[in-house]
Amino acid sequence: MDLFDKCKNYKTANDARKMGIYPYFHKLESKQDIAVTMEGKRRIMLGSNNYLGLTANDEIIEAGKKAVEQYGTGCSGSRFLNGTLRMHVELEKQLAEFVGYEDCVTFSTGFQTNLGIISAVVGRNDYMICDRENHASIYDGCKLSFGKMLRYKHNDMEDLERVLKTVPEDAGKLIITDGVFSMGGDIAKLPEIVELAKKYGARTMVDDAHGLGVLGEGGRGTASYFGLTDQVDITMGTFSKSLASLGGYMVANHVVADYVRHNSRPFIFSASITPASCATALAALDYLRRNPQIVQRLNDISRYVREGMHKRRIRIRPQDGGWATPIVPIYTSDLVTTLTIGKELYDEGVFVNPVLPPAVAPSDCLLRTSYMATHTEEILDEAMDIIARILDKHGLLGE
């Protein structure tokens, strides 16, 4: 069999193109903002992870410009060799202080961060215990390690304990969970996870890519939200969401951070974060520190959307607890219906993200919508009215 037969036999994307409902690679022609110009038309942006709206902030943009003027466009090497800027070290120091840990290691992307952490700290005889709805980068990090991965049902603490009971008592154990889950927008049951980790001698790791800037005191993340910063062993996050840049980070104690610096292949063998990306992340972190009210504004916007969708009979996942996250999935059933509705919304000027198998079960396809602190109530009402009208056309509004 020819190696490329699998490529020739892949029909899914072309089938969607032929039906006129292919949803990917739409071309932006403006800044990532609450409304964008995409392929020549205004679209309300409900598909970005730009939670604090800082990608269009003049202060953040200016920081990136100055960094390029001072350092050039790239570092041309790894952090180990010629690629460490004083600014990288400053960013790590500021992040560690902000999130509340001893030390910080930065990586070139968020995806690479999970690869780099897990593959470094998990050895051949260790176990990784993962929530089934964890991000793909966590699963790939587990594959890159030499440990054994076990999974538990999503946010199901009884099932987590069942899995922990199967792990040899003397084995190294790392429980890994998203803080805010990227598709459903729900929050991990971190207090229970920490309690079970202590009971069974496990360490804990939280992927806070969608938690930084969203939860906790001044946006410090999921562990802060629950008052558990000193009890979560490792937290990772990204710069591509609330910090309006590109890259990722790990915070932990000095011993773990230094071990990862010297043993993580994705860290050692990758070029460092570009000057502009580093500077914009620093500027966004400083902006967040000086403007903690923006986190409350994001919560208010998220709550406004959930209430607005409920009034319009749009079916969304209920959110437990007192804090509303900015990820709101709309349930649309099967693949073709989901892609069709996504295309009709796009044509009507609303950009959302279709979520399809294997990310979800074939009958549980959804449209992932996400929101920014800079969204206005007026533009959100405009978008929700369009969404409700198109869902009603397909008979998908609730009672």
Helix axes 86-99, 275-290, angle to 10 degrees: 30
The residue annotated as part of the active site, out of 48, 182, 242, 245, is 182
State the CB neighbour count (10 A cutoff) for residue 297: 16
Nearest to 172 by CA among 232, 236, 139, 128: 128
Cis peptide bond upstream of 358, omega within 30: yes
Please give the structure tokens belonging to residue 241: 């969401």
Active site residue 210: yes
Residues 289, 214 contacting (CB under 8 angstroms): no
Sign of the CA dihedral running 276, 277, 281, 287 = positive
The residue annotated as part of the active site, out of 135, 210, 343, 375, is 210
The residue annotated as part of the active site, out of 241, 270, 343, 375, is 241
Nearest to 54 by CA among 179, 214, 185: 214
- Helical H segments across 108-189, by residue range: 110-121, 136-144, 157-165
Enumerate the β-bridge partners of residue 127: 148, 173
Active site residue 119: no
State the CB neighbour count (10 A cutoff) for residue 163: 20
d(CA 179, CA 235): 9
d(CA 304, CA 321): 15
Q: Which residues are catalytic?
A: 182, 210, 241
